Amino acid sequence: MDKLLIEGGRPLAGQVRVSGAKNAALPILCAALLTAEPLVLSNVARLNDVRTMQKLLAQMGVALDVTTPGTLTLHAAKIDWPLAPYELVKTMRASILALGPLVARCGEARVSLPGGCAIGLRPVDQHVKGLQAMGVEIDLENGYISARTARLGGARIVFDMVTVTGTENLMMAATLADGTTTLENAACEPEVVDLARCLVAMGARITGAGTTRIVIEGVDRLHGTTHAIMPDRIETGTFLAAVAATGGDVTLTGTQADTLDAVLDKLREAGATLDVRGDAIRVRRDGPLQAVHIRTAPYSGFPTDMQAQIMALMTKANGTSVITETIFENRMMHVQELQRLSADIEVEGNTAIVRGVAKLTGASVMATDLRASACLVIAGLIAEGETVIDRIYHLDRGYERIDDKLAALGARIRRVS
């Protein structure tokens, strides 16, 4: 199993290009199931989660072709197996995103329940409830969701809580339903907007994406299109937090600053200098780091996917930072590992109280999930001595060559098997 070795204490400097967003690519790959014509996607990051989704779609009968690196053509001329098996779903919960498109296109689907997940229970009841309201018969048996409908109909669906993939799944299903679907309390995340943009380019009639009320007027069929995946706002935030932590001067290119305002605000409050110019963000930090308080929230609040990385930054800030996680019930597993690096953190329920220390010291630590891994990388970059991060397959699920990108910015980081 690969590990990362990091020799901390070097500032980062230079330029790095942000990859396409994982959480936009995953639903958009599934959107290919909605049409018999080819969907051509560019700015697709080479990530393990994207590869898993490709595998899932391929075994359903979708033809996939990588024309140039980062450009992918998906052609679902015919769907042979509207099935997402446990073996693939268990490694990537986002496989549930195939459910809506499969039912809409084939009138039936069998998708494994995601099962246990490291960061919390993460049920899919909202996806199920929404499809039922659209006239889909759902049976839960043998760990699978079996869905069947003679006619998918529009409906008004009010989500009990904000769910990103729930919103995406139902929005995709509704594109081919009879009549109009209204999604209330919908997720406003930029990835939902990117998916809507792609669906509209495919001929869907969608208004309100990016607000809490999305209206979809069903059409008979969708056609192929080309679409560029939006930049990854969480990768962007991760690099910004890393530079804020180590100090230095880095320019991120190919990004979209207005998708991460809450993160930029907090980094500025913490002492980073950020200059936004077009699709670039320059980040510097020369002065001291200040503690800031964080409370995660659905977009446009502070993203849960940046909570762990900001915590790494706060371990060396002046003062005490209070970080509250409100989206997932078990997303503090990085705390134990940060403590191994000499961080002073106390957890009470879903709140971490982080008292800044003068220095972190390198140690062996274990990555427990994707964003926890990114947090440990940042901590390793500012710890004295060597930090060894085990189980980095989590990191490879969602960051494209993060070790190479950091090394190019001057970090002493290497991967060993």
Q: How far is the CB of 173 from ligand EPU (least distance, A)?
A: 14
Interaction residues for ligand EPU, span 79-118 (CB under 6 A): 93-94
Q: Could you say which of 12, 206, 209, 370 contacts ligand EPU (CB under 6 A)?
A: 370
CB 345 within 8 A of CB 353: yes
Closest by Cα among 68, 402, 379, 100 to 232: 402
Q: Kindly state whether residue 305 participates in binding ligand EPU, applying the rule CB under 6 A.
A: yes
* Residue whose pair of structure tokens reads 């991060």 in the numeric block: 389
How far apart are the C-alpha atoms of 417 and 415, rounded to whole Å? 7
CB of 166 to ligand EPU, least distance (A): 5
95/251 with CB nearer ligand EPU: 95
Binding residue for ligand EPU (CB under 6 A) from 398, 399, 403, 406?
398
Strands 137-141 and 144-148: antiparallel
The verdict on 65 binding ligand EPU (CB under 6 A) reads: no
125 binds ligand EPU (CB under 6 A): yes
Distance CA 100, CA 130 (A): 10
Rounded to the nearest whole angstrom, what is the least distance from the CB of residue 298 to ligand EPU in the complex? Answer: 7
Encoded tokens for 52: 């898993």
Q: Work out whether 233 is an interface residue with ligand EPU (CB under 6 A).
A: no
Q: Put the strands of the sheet holding 3-7 in their side by side order.
A: 364-366, 386-390, 3-7, 412-416
User: By rule CB under 6 A, what string of x and - marks binding of each residue 311-330 to ligand EPU?
Assistant: ----------------xx--
Candidate list 124, 267, 308, 313; residue touching ligand EPU; CB under 6 A: 124
C-beta separation of 17 from 365 below 8 A = no
- Which structure tokens are listed for 26? 């995953």
On whether the CB atoms of residues 409 and 36 are closer than 8 A, the answer is no
Among 120, 143, 287, 288, binds ligand EPU (CB under 6 A): 120
Q: Which CB sits closer to ligand EPU, 274 or 328?
A: 328
SS3 string of 181-215? Answer: EEEECCCCCHHHHHHHHHHHHCCCEEECECECEEE
Sign, CA dihedral 117-119-121-124, equals: negative
User: Is 117 assigned a catalytic role?
Assistant: yes
Per CB under 6 A, which region of 38-46, 65-73, 122-130, 219-227 contacts ligand EPU?
A: 122-130
Q: Are 205 and 219 in contact (CB under 8 A)?
A: yes
When asked if residue 164 is in the footprint of ligand EPU (CB under 6 A), the reply is yes
Which token pair is 401? 């060559």
Strands (E), 221-290: 225-228, 248-253, 273-277, 280-285
227 is a contact residue toward ligand EPU (CB under 6 A): no
Is the CB of 172 or the CB of 360 nearer to ligand EPU? 172
Q: Which of residues 43, 95, 163, 238 is near ligand EPU by CB under 6 A?
A: 163
Nearest approach in angstroms of CB 121 to ligand EPU is: 6
Residues designated catalytic: 117
**Binding site residues, ligand EPU, CB under 6 A:** 23, 26, 93-94, 120-127, 161, 163-166, 191, 304-305, 327-328, 370-371, 398
